[in-house]
Amino acid sequence: MNESALLQTEQKADPQANQRHIAMDMYIAGRKPTAICRELGRSRTWFYQTLRRYQESGRAGLASRSRAPHRVANRTADALEKAVVRVRETITGGSEPELR
């Protein structure tokens, strides 16, 4: 599949990314940010965030990104989790007579 066909398939699946591509195409063609925002019904903040993503990563940067957190704040530490599993296995294994 060539690059333009892949891009078209990707744009159909993600309408937000499609708007970002259209905005950057308009900007490259010389349109002013205010006119682009008015035509697309988006804020200037959205436009400048999109422009920054485009400048940093090119067309690939215009794809939608996950909004999920990068880490879980209250996750149990690995060492503690392993210790709990070990204790549970000992209890359910029945190898220690006083734990039955």
Residue 70 lies in a domain: no
Q: Is residue 67 part of a domain?
A: no
- In tens, the pLDDT along 69-90 reads 888 889 899 999 999 999 888 8
Amino acid identity, position 48: Y
Residue 19 forms part of a structural domain? yes
Domain of residue 9: give its range: 3-62
Q: Residue 57: inside a domain, yes or no?
A: yes
Give a yes or no: residue 97 inside a domain.
no
26 within domain boundaries: yes
Q: The whole model's pTM is what?
A: 0.59
Answer whether 17's CB lies under 8 Å from 11's CB. Answer: yes
User: Is residue 6's pLDDT more than 60?
Assistant: no
Domain count, the chain: 1
User: What's the pLDDT at 94?
Assistant: 72
- Kindly state whether residue 29 falls inside one of the protein's structural domains: yes
Q: How many CA atoms lie within 13 A of 39 on its CB side?
A: 13
